[in-house]
């Protein structure tokens, strides 16, 4: 299975960004953990962008390749119709992930524009959220 792991805005600062909420592991650490868990079960394409349109393009690319998607859209989760439309248009199996439990935080984080077009949502488990999403995708995508 080929799996795109796409990270949105500010996730490049993971490790130093609000460590009380997001922990001290960097995005590179998250990637390493995920690759270790995947082993030879999946080919991982791991990317981060602070630009909404770039994330849209990557979701389209995943769809064209028939790859699955693990998406931490960051704050765009709560704002982006463009990302939602990319997911529903791309026919890529997409799992929404968050490091933090967004439902235990500010009310504006309770609404996700993308959940309804994703296969499922995993939030609140730090880097393990990504790994659980990987297991979910592998269970469905041979
Ligand atoms: C996040 C949660 C979002 O609300 C926030 O804007 C982020 C990170 C998470 O992984 O917990 O940037 O997606």
pLDDT per position as a tens digit, 103-134:
999 999 999 999 999 999 999 999 999 999 99
**Do the annotations mark residue 50 as ligand-binding?**
no
Q: With helix as H, strand as E and coil as C, how does 30-59 read? A: HHHHHHHHHCCCCEEEEEECCCHHHHHHHH
Percent of the chain with pLDDT over 90: 94
User: What average pLDDT does range 31-56 have in this prediction?
Assistant: 98
Q: Which of 48, 99, 122 to mutate to test the pocket of ligand 1 (most atoms within 8 A of CB)?
A: 99
**Cβ 99 under 6 angstroms from ligand 1:** yes
Give me the active site residues, please: 22, 98
ipTM of model over 0.90: yes
Q: Is the confidence at residue 141, as pLDDT, over 60?
A: no
pLDDT per position as a tens digit, 73-104:
999 999 999 999 999 999 889 999 999 999 99
- How far is CA 10 from its chain centroid? 13
What angle separates helix 127-140 from helix 27-38, to the nearest 10 degrees? Answer: 30
Q: Is the confidence at residue 45, as pLDDT, over 70?
A: yes
Q: Is the confidence at residue 142, as pLDDT, over 90?
A: no
Instruction: Return the DSSP state at 60.
Output: H
Task: Look at the chain and report how many structural domains it folds into.
Answer: 1
Print the domain residue range for 72.
2-140
* Residues 49, 114: Cα–Cα separation, whole Å: 17
**Do the annotations mark residue 85 as ligand-binding?**
yes
User: What average pLDDT does range 47-72 have in this prediction?
Assistant: 97
**Cβ 68 under 6 angstroms from ligand 1:** no
> Where residue 122 sits, what CATH number does that domain have?
3.40.50.9100
Q: pTM of whole model > 0.90?
A: yes
User: How far does the centroid of ligand 1 lie from the alpha carbon of residue 88, in Å?
Assistant: 21
Q: Is the confidence at residue 53, as pLDDT, over 70?
A: yes
**Cβ 98 under 6 angstroms from ligand 1:** yes
User: What average pLDDT does range 29-48 have in this prediction?
Assistant: 97
């Amino acid at each position: 299975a080929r799996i795109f792991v796409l990270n949105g805005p500010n996730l490049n600062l993971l490790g130093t960004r609000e460590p009380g909420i997001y922990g001290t592991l960097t995005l590179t650490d998250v990637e390493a953990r995920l690759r270790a868990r995947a082993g030879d079960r999946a080919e991982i394409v791991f990317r981060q962008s602070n630009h909404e349109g770039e994330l849209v393009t990557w979701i389209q690319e995943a769809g064209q390749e028939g790859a699955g998607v693990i998406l931490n859209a960051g704050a765009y989760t709560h704002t982006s119709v463009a990302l939602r439309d990319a997911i529903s248009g791309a026919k890529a199996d997409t799992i929404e992930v968050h490091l933090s439990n967004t439902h235990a935080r500010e009310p504006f984080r309770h609404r996700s524009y993308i959940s309804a077009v994703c296969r499922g949502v995993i939030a609140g488990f730090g880097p393990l959220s990504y790994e659980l999403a990987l297991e979910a995708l592998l269970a469905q995508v041979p």
